Chain A
Amino acid sequence: MFLLRIKNQRRKHEDAANLKETCNMNSTVRRIFDFQRFSPNAELEALIKETEGRYAALDDSDLELVNAAGEVETIFDKKDDEQ
């Protein structure tokens, strides 16, 4: 019983560490991609273009910038649904 409790506690710590790591990686990748919008890296740009090319017809995220009245809208990060 005691060992089981220790094992569970260890798993909780590991899960928490993994979650923290994932969150850190989320924000790291976001920051790099945000900087990419300012100062494009050629290799990264090529990969982005490749992906965009595959899904261009289906990606309406850019259209969401303009509202029905044609007024300013901003690109906001859509609500995370994976967390």
Chain B
Amino acid sequence: MAEYVVDKERIYIDYHPKVMAYINSRINNTYEAEDLAQNVFLKVYSKLDDFDSTKSSISTWIYNITKNTLIDYFRTRPRDLHEEIPEYIADTEDTPEEGCILEEQQQMLAAALSELSTVERDVIILRYYKNNNLTKISEMMALPYGQVKRIHAKALSKLNKELGENR
């Protein structure tokens, strides 16, 4: 295990802002966000012995713990507040290898997005980062829905080609 990993204080200093930023991007309640972050670090510390730096980066490992803590939070919320867990979070399996891949894929996605036209890039970012549906995007971009749908399909196909080739 890397020395870095054993240093709990260092982990907290380095990752608390990331954990908070991630949780705050998903829920909008400061107190609950802080509680969740504390839960994340309790889990991180209690599982430190299980962490294998040859299989995953510490960053990804903590990301997965944060994501799973958030999923548990969504599942245990009161019924009237409970909504469907976002598919992209719930369906992501915790494969240790995913971490390294994700970090590489961020770079690949940035490069692939740079190759798209501005309009195509905007549609992808508004759809998958900002989580807007295509109807909303068509309003935001002042374009007909059908056109946005075509741009979306074309952009995804280009990304598929770019990311697929580098996979």
Are the chains A and B members of one assembly? yes
Which of B26, B110, B130 is the one whose CB lies under 8 Å from A59?
B130
Given contacts A32-B109, A43-B107, A47-B121, contact A72 B29 (CB under 8 A): yes
Determine the distance from Cα of A75 to Cα of B23 in the docked complex, in whole angstroms: 10
Q: How far is the CB of A61 from chain B (nearest CB, A)?
A: 6
Main secondary structure of the interface of A (DSSP, over half): helix
Count chain B residues whose beta carbon lies closer than 8 angstroms to a beta carbon of A. Answer: 61
Q: Do A28 and B21 have beta carbons less than 8 Å apart?
A: no
Determine the distance from Cα of A34 to Cα of B90 in the docked complex, in whole angstroms: 12
Give 3 closest A-B pairs by Cβ, nearest first.
A30-B88, A72-B29, A43-B110
Chain B hits for A32, CB < 8 A: 102, 105-106, 109
Q: Do A82 and B134 have beta carbons less than 8 Å apart?
A: yes
Chain A hits for B34, CB < 8 A: none
* CB interface residues, B 48-98, toward A, < 8 Å: 59-60, 63, 66-67, 74, 81, 83-84, 86-89, 91-92, 98
Q: Is B22 an interface residue when CB atoms closer than 8 A count as contact?
A: yes
Q: How far is the CB of A36 from chain B (nearest CB, A)?
A: 6
Q: Do A55 and B126 have beta carbons less than 8 Å apart?
A: yes
Determine the distance from Cα of A32 to Cα of B74 in the docked complex, in whole angstroms: 21
Which of A30, A31, A44, A78 is the one whose CB lies under 8 Å from B133?
A78
Which residues of A does B touch, CB under 8 Å?
A: 21-22, 25-39, 41, 43-44, 47-48, 51-52, 54-55, 58-59, 61, 65-66, 71-82
Q: Do A44 and B140 have beta carbons less than 8 Å apart?
A: no
Q: Do A76 and B106 have beta carbons less than 8 Å apart?
A: no
Query: In the complex, given contacts A34-B89, A58-B139, what are 8 additional A-B residue pairs having Cβ atoms less than 8 angstroms apart?
Result: A37-B21, A48-B129, A59-B126, A73-B28, A74-B28, A78-B133, A78-B136, A79-B133
Which of B84, B102, B105 is the one whose CB lies under 8 Å from A76?
B84
